[in-house]
Amino acid sequence: MITSTTDPQPADFADVRATNLAVVLRSVREHAPCSRADIAASTGLNKATVSSLVADLIDRRLVRETGLTENRVGRPATMLVLDGSPYAAIGVEINVDYVTAVAVDLSGERLLSWRRSFPGATTTAAQAVATVAAIVRRVVNRMAKEERQVLGLAVGVPGLVGADGTVRIAPNLGWRDADLCGDLTKALRDPGFPVQVDNDANLAALAEHRFGPLAGTANLVYLTGEIGVGAGIVLDGRLRRGGQGYGGEIGHIQLDPLGAECRCGRLGCLEAVAGIGAVLEHAALSPAEVEIELDEVVRLARAADSRTLSTLATVGHNLGKGVAMIANLLNPEVVILGGYYVPLAPWLLPAVEAELRGRTIAPDAGGCQVVASTLGYGAAALGGAARVLDSVDSGRLPRIS
């Protein structure tokens, strides 16, 4: 990619070609099946340049020809679609009670999805690195058996992650200044593909923007519904991380100065009064087995248990206050509730929407809707894979073997 740090710098031929290859690849992704003439028309590149770039992408097995179409004026055209069959992108999510790994091909088709329990609250960063490295090695070995080249790995963590992949603080994991990216690269013995680390909410937002039912929505916010609550923010079609990458920590906005203590050490944070921990605490259930306990919450809610319904209404109203802040500040088209919020959505959404309507100054809540995610508990891992694919779309293409 062409980059500039101070004064404009001249780009060499390789820079320009890499940029144009990425442009053509994105065009095929967005418009396939399409012809070379279609690509030239949509990108503004001339036909000779497009033909050369397409030949390069075919050599790299990123694009393939899929036959002729006659449903057009003039001569039949050879159509192009994404290939990517020799490649895989890997995403991993580390959370308080589980680790998820996902691998996808270039088109986003899932090649595998693994999930295992993980005692994150009592595990050190070094132990987590060993666990994740073992899982990634298994995924890489599986991909090797399928003769796929791994394009990259991105790992999601519930905490503040710097641009260098250092986890500055992850309150629910008990980590501070953990060089997760560097340590994981070492544990994988310099694997030959890039390793990235990002906040879990950021990656989940990328997954929704690329693969979800509202894919392509220019302005969306994803709220993690785990033990912690974080926000992944997409504005004008781009993920927004803030100045140092620490944006989106809505879970630590204080709603009640006299409220419950949060794991960050403060009182009345949104996470403390509207996170899944608050649901389980009010329901007198243990957070040790979150999914088992949530199944019980759902069972009681369906049975119209008054205490459970009251708890969910309270949590929903608190969550709605946070959503209204997001709507007033960012004016997203949609706020997506993810993670453990999903099974509770039928009871949370009415209260969330009531608070959103009552606390948003713009008419009709500024056009914001609130929905439950359909991507499951692996959204952040899937978003890790999406981040790898984004880097390919941006010009980091695999070499011709």
* pLDDT tens digits for range 163-178: 899 999 998 899 999 9
Determine the pLDDT at residue 73: 59
Whether the predicted pLDDT of 19 surpasses 60: yes
| Residue of 226, 262, 172 lying closest to 342 (CA atoms) | 226
pLDDT digits (tens, 9 = 90+) for 288-336: 678 888 999 999 999 999 999 999 999 999 999 999 999 999 999 999 9
Alpha-carbon gap, residue 255 to 18, rounded angstroms: 48
Determine the pLDDT at residue 131: 95
Q: Are strands 77-82 and 34-35 parallel, antiparallel or unpaired?
A: antiparallel
Determine the pLDDT at residue 76: 80
Determine the pLDDT at residue 263: 84
Whether the predicted pLDDT of 400 surpasses 70: no
Percent of the chain residues past pLDDT 70, beyond the cut: 93
- Work out the mean pLDDT of the chain and round it to a whole number: 90
Please give the angle made by the CA atoms of 302, 368 and 359, to the nearest 5 degrees: 80
- Grade residue 3 by pLDDT with cuts at 50, 70 and 90: very low
Whether the predicted pLDDT of 55 surpasses 80: yes
- Grade residue 5 by pLDDT with cuts at 50, 70 and 90: very low
Number of neighbours of residue 259 by Cβ within 10 angstroms: 17
pLDDT digits (tens, 9 = 90+) for 192-204: 999 999 999 999 9
164's CB contacts (< 8 A; 6+ apart) are 179, 181, 182
- Grade residue 88 by pLDDT with cuts at 50, 70 and 90: very high
The position carrying tokens 């608050």 is 278
- CB-based burial of residue 172 (10 Å sphere; 0-12 exposed, 13-18 middle, 19+ buried)? buried
Determine the pLDDT at residue 399: 74
Determine contact, residues 267/252, Cβ cutoff 8 Å.
Answer: no
Determine contact, residues 93/200, Cβ cutoff 8 Å.
Answer: yes
Query: Where is pLDDT greater, at 245 or 36?
Result: 36
Determine the pLDDT at residue 7: 45
Whether the predicted pLDDT of 344 surpasses 70: yes
Q: Are strands 63-69 and 238-240 parallel, antiparallel or unpaired?
A: unpaired
Whether the predicted pLDDT of 13 surpasses 80: no
- CB burial string 232-241: b at 16+ within 10 A, e below: bbbeeeebeb
Query: Where is pLDDT greater, at 2 or 389?
Result: 389
Determine the pLDDT at residue 226: 83
pLDDT digits (tens, 9 = 90+) for 100-143: 999 999 988 999 999 998 988 889 999 999 999 999 999 999 99
Whether the predicted pLDDT of 12 surpasses 60: no
| Residue of 114, 87, 88 lying closest to 101 (CA atoms) | 114
Q: Tokens representing 386?
A: 């999406």
- Grade residue 243 by pLDDT with cuts at 50, 70 and 90: confident
- Grade residue 10 by pLDDT with cuts at 50, 70 and 90: very low
Edge-to-edge strand order for the sheet containing 238-240?
A: 238-240, 231-235, 220-223, 334-337, 369-372
pLDDT digits (tens, 9 = 90+) for 153-164: 999 999 999 989
pLDDT digits (tens, 9 = 90+) for 210-224: 999 999 999 999 999
- Grade residue 184 by pLDDT with cuts at 50, 70 and 90: very high
Determine contact, residues 259/272, Cβ cutoff 8 Å.
Answer: yes
Determine the pLDDT at residue 4: 37
308's CB contacts (< 8 A; 6+ apart) are 283, 297, 300, 301
